[in-house]
Amino acid sequence: KVITRVDVEYVSPSASSLTVRTSADQGATYNTGIGVSLMTASNVTQMPAYVYQPARYPMFRVETSGQTGIELHRFHVVMRSGGR
């Protein structure tokens, strides 16, 4: 399996950022991640993070640092079976 994109649905009272990190070893280690800039949004808005993580059981995590007021609502993970 390969994770190719993680869509983040969010609400944010001010411009913010987050990092989407992926793991090929079921969360034992994570890569450095992809930074995503979030626009100000009073309604639920979706922002994609384009990643590439091949693994038998790939995982992801989302990190923010020091921002307040961000509401993360839902994640949509786009995957495919096989290699590139």
Answer whether residue 68 shows pLDDT above 90.
no
Model confidence over 72-82: pLDDT tens digits? 999 999 999 87
Residue 84: its pLDDT value, please?
Answer: 59
- The DSSP-derived string for the chain is -EEEEEEEEEEESS-EEEEEEEESSTTSS----EEEEE--EEEEEEEEEEEEEE-SS-EEEEE--S--S-EEEEEEEEEESS--
Residue 10: its pLDDT value, please?
Answer: 95
- This prediction has a pTM of 0.86
